[in-house]
């Protein structure tokens, strides 16, 4: 009885010059002061991936979609997911929880010229795995519906704050314009690199979710690592997205039809690089909006510079930041949806610091439900009896600003505005925006209107979900 604890303790003891895990092979990799041989390191990465994926609440047998950009993280994600779905030759009867997946690549060449030749490289990599690939251009956000217009030149009363407006208008009879040009025009009006990065991220995620729904996928796999999670924790907190941290860094059920999974959230970017090198995986080198720029170019770029520097000197600290952030719990699932980023929105009473006044922002829209409300009111193009559908068919203006989250209000401030009561100059043009922003706004306004109509018949519940 006395020898059992000693035997277990001696089995766990580290042997100098040997792999910390198998204690047989000579170590060749050092990560966070731990030494591993090649085989044990690769097994460690795969084990953490499978462990995180198995924790998902998605029903067994569901189809998943891998968000693939060709970078180091998504490249390792594609490899580990393919290994996960591969049939074990020693146990062919063993079935995986998710046996099927497809790959989606969002082409951002309309904003980043360096991505123009990436599609062919992406296709070659995915074809080597014999998986279904969907290449979707970023400008598809303008092809879902007729584009909305941000009214940059509207007569304003002197008592109204021009900075508290984000008036957009749906034009059903608008002339057909190249969607690629609309994307470039929209990003060209933004002066802040932080706003450009955030808007690009929101549009990319919206495109992925839209494509996943179209292909019948129950979840999207993202290649977020522990390093990128730590970067997002710092940057999102600085931008005022603390409420949505659980949805931005962990497995999320925020999108009811599509789950967002991050199975590599426990793996450092350094480990990803080592994994790709040992597995001889070819990656697609591409630049971002802030590549070769100074660290102060944007909040995300500055956060990245800080975390990467911290990881070089104190690698265990980055993992600690990520693990601590995973414990954060907010009531984001009970919040309403931001029309722009489609994330949770905190109470507008907390946004007085970003507005020039604490009063309700100006440019109130016309009552969205001027006719008798209908329970099928959803502002869908196919709806003909709903009050919202009637208003959408007109050139209806709506002030989206009161509906935006704190971070998206910063983006709204970055769009050009002109406070004047005179007619606009010939060179003054409205900014094109994806129509889904307007449709999300109409939907929220109609839901609020309907809730007000039946408020006397509702039973208050502190745990109820707000829509």
Residue 210 CB-density burial (10 A; 0-12 exposed, 13-18 middle, 19+ buried): middle
pLDDT number for residue 397:
75
Q: Quick one: DSSP state of residue 389?
A: H
Scan for tokens 């208003």, then name that residue. 391
**What confidence score (pLDDT) does residue 178 get?**
83
Whether residue 456 is predicted with pLDDT greater than 80 in this model: the reply is no
In tens, the pLDDT along 349-362 reads 555 555 543 333 33
More confident residue, 449 or 160: 449
pLDDT of residue 265: 94
Per-residue pLDDT, 113: 86
Please list the residues that pair with 75 across neighbouring strands.
Answer: none
Banded pLDDT at 441 (limits 50, 70, 90): confident
Instruction: Output the six-digit token pair for 260.
Output: 């967002």
Contacts of 395 (CB under 8 A, 6+ apart): 169, 170, 171, 172
* Mean pLDDT score across all residues of the chain: 80
CB 253 within 8 A of CB 107: no
* pTM score: 0.82
Identify the H or E element spanning 379: none
Average pLDDT estimate for 149-169: 57
Under 8 Å between Cβ of 38 and 237: no
Contact 403, 139 (CB under 8 A): no
Mean pLDDT of 52-79: 94
Per-residue pLDDT tens digits for 82-113: 999 987 666 666 778 898 999 999 999 999 88
For the chain, the structural domain boundaries read 18-55
**Of residues 326 and 428, which shows the higher confidence score?**
326
Q: Which residue would you say has higher pLDDT here, 341 or 369? A: 341
What is the structure's pLDDT at 11?
A: 52
Residues 6+ apart with CB under 8 A from 403: 336, 338, 339, 345, 441, 444, 445
Q: How confident is the model at residue 429 (pLDDT cuts 50, 70, 90)?
A: low
Q: Is the pLDDT of residue 382 over 70?
A: no
Q: What angle do CA 43, 101, 209 make, to 5 degrees?
A: 115
Residues 122, 284 contacting (CB under 8 angstroms):
yes
Q: For residue 36, list its beta bridge partners.
A: 29
Tell me how many helices (H) and strands (E) the chain has. Answer: 14, 15
SS3 annotation, 128-159: CCCCCEEEEEHHHHHCCCCCEEECCEECCCCC
Rounded distance between C-alpha atoms, residue 105 and residue 44, angstroms: 27
Answer whether residue 371 shows pLDDT above 50. no
Express each pLDDT in 302-341 by its tens digit. 999 999 998 888 878 899 999 999 999 888 888 889 999 9
């Amino acid at each position: 009885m006395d020898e059992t604890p000693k035997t277990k303790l001696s089995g766990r003891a580290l042997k100098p010059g040997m792999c910390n895990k198998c204690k047989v092979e000579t170590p060749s990799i050092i990560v966070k002061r731990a030494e591993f041989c090649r085989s044990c390191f690769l097994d460690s990465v795969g084990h953490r991936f499978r462990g995180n994926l198995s924790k998902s609440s998605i029903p067994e047998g569901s189809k998943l979609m891998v968000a693939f950009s060709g970078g180091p993280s998504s490249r390792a994600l594609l490899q580990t997911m393919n290994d996960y779905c591969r049939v074990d030759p020693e146990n062919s009867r063993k079935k995986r929880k998710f046996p099927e997946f497809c790959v989606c690549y969002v082409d951002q060449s309309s904003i980043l010229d360096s991505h123009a030749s990436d599609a062919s490289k992406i296709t070659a990599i995915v074809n080597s795995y014999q998986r279904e690939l969907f290449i979707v251009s970023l400008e598809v956000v303008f092809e879902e519906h007729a584009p909305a217009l941000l009214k940059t030149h509207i007569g304003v009363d002197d008592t109204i704050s021009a900075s508290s407006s984000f008036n957009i208008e749906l034009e059903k009879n608008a002339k057909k314009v190249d969607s690629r040009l609309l994307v470039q025009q929209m990003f060209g009006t933004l002066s802040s690199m932080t706003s450009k990065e955030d808007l690009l991220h929101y549009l990319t995620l919206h495109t992925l979710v839209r494509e996943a729904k179209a292909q019948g996928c129950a979840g999207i796999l993202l290649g977020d690592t522990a390093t990128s999670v730590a970067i997002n924790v710092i940057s999102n907190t600085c931008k005022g997205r603390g409420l949505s941290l659980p949805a931005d860094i962990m497995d999320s059920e925020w999108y009811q039809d599509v789950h967002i999974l991050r199975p590599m959230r426990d793996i450092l970017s350094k480990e990803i690089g080592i994994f790709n090198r040992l597995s001889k995986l070819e990656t697609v080198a591409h630049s971002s909006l802030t590549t070769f720029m100074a660290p102060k170019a944007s909040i995300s770029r500055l956060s990245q510079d800080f975390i990467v520097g911290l990881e070089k000197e104190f690698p265990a600290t980055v993992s600690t930041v990520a693990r601590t952030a995973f414990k954060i719990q907010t009531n984001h699932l009970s919040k309403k949806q931001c029309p722009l980023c489609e994330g949770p929105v905190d109470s507008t009473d907390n946004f007085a610091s970003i507005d020039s006044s604490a009063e309700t922002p100006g440019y109130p829209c016309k009552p969205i439900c001027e006719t008798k409300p209908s329970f099928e009111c959803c502002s869908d193009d196919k709806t003909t009896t709903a009050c919202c559908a009637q208003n959408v068919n007109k050139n209806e203006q709506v002030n989206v600003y009161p509906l935006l989250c704190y971070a998206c209000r910063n983006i709204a401030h970055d769009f050009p505005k002109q406070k004047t009561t005179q007619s606009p100059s010939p060179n003054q043009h409205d900014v094109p925006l994806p129509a889904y922003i307007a449709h999300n706004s109409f939907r929220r306004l109609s839901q609020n209107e309907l809730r007000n109509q039946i408020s006397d018949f509702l039973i208050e519940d502190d745990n109820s979900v707000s829509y």
